[in-house]
Chains A and B, each alone.
Chain A
Amino acid sequence: MNKMYALALGLLLFISCGKDKTNAGEDFSKSSSTETSDPTSYDPNRGEGKYSTVDLGTGLNVAMAAEGEKVAGVKCMSCHKLTDERLVGPGWKGVTERRTPQWLMNFAINPDPMIDKDPELQAQLELCLVRMPNQALTDDDARNILEYMRQNDGVK
């Protein structure tokens, strides 16, 4: 009998859970490209996003860095300085040495999931108290900004 109860109870729970799932509205607040993955699979070197590797080529692409400076001027420089001084967010000096290119690209394009998972970003949030906003950067924007960061770090 006990078994039957357990079965019935399980069935009830199952039904109610199932119903809840079917009623769940699509989460409109997240962009469709956001994938929810297991937090334990988070790779702190790569970050989370579409980039696993970034081909940096040989030396600095000056044209890309110049484009990056333009975009950053509109979308980034309200909060970041080129020195190591923190404004709203940390200064950019040395950032390309501290982080992998793919981590920077993933973070620039879609910061929210990484802020939720990356231990270092969470520690940084305790200092800055402002989550880095999604500034709607395109892939090209992010790549150009990366080049601008590299230039700032002395890459020739």
Chain B
Amino acid sequence: MNTKFLKITAALILIVAFLGSCKPKNTSDAVSGDAAQKAYVAPGKYDEFYNFVSGGFSGQISVYGLPSGRLFRVIPVFSVDPEKGWGYSEETKPMLNTSHGFVPWDDLHHTEMSQTNGEIDGRWVFGNANNTPRIARIDLKTFKTAEIIELPNSGGNHSSPFITENTEYVVAGTRFSVPGDYENGDVPINTYKENYKGHISFVKVGKEGEMDIAFQIMTPGVNFDLSHAGKGKSHGWFFFSCYNTEQANTLLEVNASQKDKDFIMAVNWKKAEEYVKAGKGKKQKVRYAHNTWDEHTHTAKSVIKTEVLVLDASELKDICYMIPCPKSPHGCDVDPTGEYIVGSGKLAALIPVFSFDKLQKAIKDKSYEGDYGGIPVLKYESVLHGEVKKPGLGPLHTEFDGKGNAYTTMFVSSEVVKWDIKTLQVLDRVPTYYSVGHLCIPGGDSKKPFGKYLVAYNKITKDRYLPTGPELCHSAQLYDISGDKMQLILDFPTIGEPHYAQAAPADLIRNNGQLKFYKIEDNKHPYVTKGEKDAKVVREGNKVHVYMTSMRSHFAPDNIEGVFLGDEVYFHVTNLEQDWDVPHGFAIKGADNGELLIMPGETTTLKWVPDRVGTFPFYCTDFCSALHQEMQGYIRVSPKGSNIPLHYSLGTNVPATK
């Protein structure tokens, strides 16, 4: 017995030793043995965090779980999305309307979750459209874009959609300064210095999330890049990084990289509010779209607004102050205490950290070194807390763990660097694969970071995944930052190009009153069909309205005759299901516009213009039951002027008409 026991024990020890030695031999791949375990979320289990990742040039926001990296949903925001019918159904088209008309594809760079008292509250996530400047608000009960507001006087809305600590405002800043929309824009391009202006927008966010441009601040023409609100002691201030203070209009790569220092513009928005109240703003004629989604009619509407209030920063001296910042600053991040403002000069060999207390003192003492287009420029040293020396190459963005540490991405040297905010000492660095842009720590730009994970979003993946032709996926890399050393635990591909992302504890969102289905009783869609008994087809001139229902597994009606070439047919499909996760689809042959995907209790409309005489099948595109393949119908299209009466039915046949 004893010898057997010993033998088995020895065998066990050997096995353990063998397992222990399974660590990768090559440390250059930077993954240690327990990485898989740390990122593993067992089938059927939930992730700890939701991760809202910008889709970059896809124009959408994707939702991942952390630590698993599993993709849950792509939320359509600024681009049409055939998977969800976004921009295809008649109801959603107005969401993509702008003063330029329907814009089907934009570029979404940053996500920002709503906050209360500086902490993520799980109500909304905002996104910015970089190309045709807009801000979107996504409702996190429905994971649906609820509102989009266009920004006048702007070109390239990049320093957006960052918010104040109680979501009082969401801001936007023009990346490309342009002549204001209320001025003559037909001017020679080389008159940038005289004619081009910067406008930054403060968009008020109401109790229900409704957005309204409260005011814009006009500044000299520069490129505004990124921004963050003050918090805690610095609540009431907003900080915008700006580059091209050279005011170049051509070959910016060279001409906007001349000066050793550009600026971080500090904006006292509470002061700006006072000036607005005192009537110091100027109403300007502009045009911008404001699009809202109505959860009861399941329909969007787009309103063109024509006026905006503009404050002139060069006239109203105590709203804006320029903090010199080396060199072409990109990221502009404020630590959880609100005291430290980190400027990431992407061409600088150091990271400057500014002090809010010193900023206040410098302003009080008028410690200026000059002015820039009428805005006071503070002395660098009088605002500086200190510099992080030799952090790496190409610092871009910084997030915080709530334990006194900052984490900055280095684009050129492909690494994340951890440093101590107070002492400015570099504590750790890890490689990324490759060319990291943004990073995200859950709650990492709020007062209350959850410093367990860090995600780096990489611009280049090259050899990291199986090749897929010329276009390769972008990627996210997950690091465990709970210890002193950062540890890479997972790679996962992302949609589009991820720029900024935010993450929050899963419970904050899944317990926020998630909508499971639309109550059919509350459906106020003008073409709703509440029950099969009300299903019908109505002709109004050459418009044919089909009031259709869907239920596992048939449409009512499913046979329609008496439609003629030249008609416009509107299928208003109401999904009568009242249970979670039972959408129905609707597709009809030859539809050149799209298909529908209808959530339970929702009504959605597809416009269909038949282009030929014949018989056209329609069917459900979302597998709904064992009899899903039976969920189909026919519509007969006859020549114009035919003598076929309008007829619709389900389950019965009428004598055939010729």
Contact = CB atoms under 8 A, between A and B. Distances in A.
B1 A134 contact: no
Given A1-B1, A74-B530, A78-B531, A133 B553 contact: no
Interface string B554-580: 101000000000000000000011111
Contact of A129 (B510, B556, B577, B627): B627
Nearest to B628: A130
A136 B579 CA distance: 7
Interface stretch (A22-30, A35-43, A92-100, A142-150): A22-30
Nearest to B5: A1
Contacts of A28: 46, 510
Given A25-B46, A74-B530, A134 B579 contact: yes
B359 to A, nearest CB: 45
B549 interface: yes
Given A1-B2, A133-B579, A78 B625 contact: no
Interface residues of A, number: 24
Contacts of A73: 530-534
Q: Is the interface of A mostly helix, strand, loop or mixed?
A: loop
Given A88-B552, A129-B627, A74 B45 contact: no
B576 A74 contact: yes
B476 interface: no
B625 A129 contact: yes
Contacts of B1: 1-2
Most buried by B among A77, A78, A79, A137: A78
B519 interface: yes
A65 B533 CA distance: 17
Contacts of A117: none
A137 to B, nearest CB: 8
B230 to A, nearest CB: 37
Contacts of A129: 625-627
B606 interface: no
Contacts of B651: 87
A131 B46 CA distance: 27
A83 interface: no
A77 B556 CA distance: 11
B42 interface: yes
B510 A130 contact: no
B520 A74 contact: yes
Contacts of B4: 1
A136 B519 contact: yes
Interface string A15-54: 0000000011110110000000000000000000000000
Nearest to B46: A25
B582 A133 contact: yes
B582 A78 contact: no
Contacts of B519: 136
A130 B627 contact: yes
A42 to B, nearest CB: 22
Contacts of B625: 129-131
A23 B42 CA distance: 10
Interface in B354-386: none
Given A28-B510, A74-B530, A88 B553 contact: yes
Interface in B531-561: 531-534, 549, 551-554, 556
A129 B627 CA distance: 7
B618 interface: no
Interface string B238-255: 000000000000000000
A136 B533 CA distance: 20
A28 B556 CA distance: 33
B517 interface: yes
A78 B5 contact: no
A36 B519 CA distance: 26
Contact of A133 (B46, B533, B577): B577
Interface string B405-417: 0000000000000
A25 B46 CA distance: 6
A94 to B, nearest CB: 21
Interface string A59-83: 0000000000000011101110000
Interface in B604-630: 625-627
Nearest to B550: A78
A2 B5 CA distance: 9
A126 to B, nearest CB: 11
Most buried by A among B531, B577, B625: B531
A77 B627 contact: no
Nearest to A78: B551
B556 A78 contact: yes
B455 to A, nearest CB: 21
A28 B553 CA distance: 26
A137 B625 CA distance: 21
B46 A77 contact: no
Interface string B510-535: 10000001011100000000111110
Contacts of A25: 44-46
Nearest to A74: B531
A26 B46 CA distance: 8
Interface in B323-362: none
Nearest to A2: B1
Contacts of A79: 551-552
A78 B627 contact: no
Contact of A24 (B45, B578, B582): B45
A81 B521 CA distance: 22
A4 to B, nearest CB: 8
A78 B576 contact: yes
Contacts of B510: 28
A75 B578 contact: yes
B331 to A, nearest CB: 35
A51 B520 CA distance: 25
B626 A77 contact: no
Interface in B260-285: none
Contacts of B578: 75, 133-137
Contacts of A23: 42, 45
A108 to B, nearest CB: 12
A134 B259 CA distance: 66
A78 B2 contact: no
A29 to B, nearest CB: 8
B532 A77 contact: yes
Contacts of B521: 74
A24 B87 CA distance: 39
Given A78-B532, A88-B627, A133-B552, 13 more contacts: A2-B1, A25-B46, A26-B46, A73-B530, A74-B576, A75-B520, A75-B576, A78-B556, A79-B551, A87-B651, A130-B552, A131-B625, A135-B579
13 contacts: A24-B45, A25-B44, A28-B510, A29-B580, A75-B531, A77-B532, A78-B532, A78-B549, A88-B552, A88-B627, A130-B626, A135-B578, A136-B517
Q: Which 7 pairs across A and B sit closest by C-beta, in order of nearness?
A: A78-B551, A136-B578, A25-B46, A73-B531, A129-B626, A135-B578, A74-B531
Interface of B: 1-2, 4-5, 42, 44-46, 510, 517, 519-521, 530-534, 549, 551-554, 556, 576-580, 582, 625-627, 651
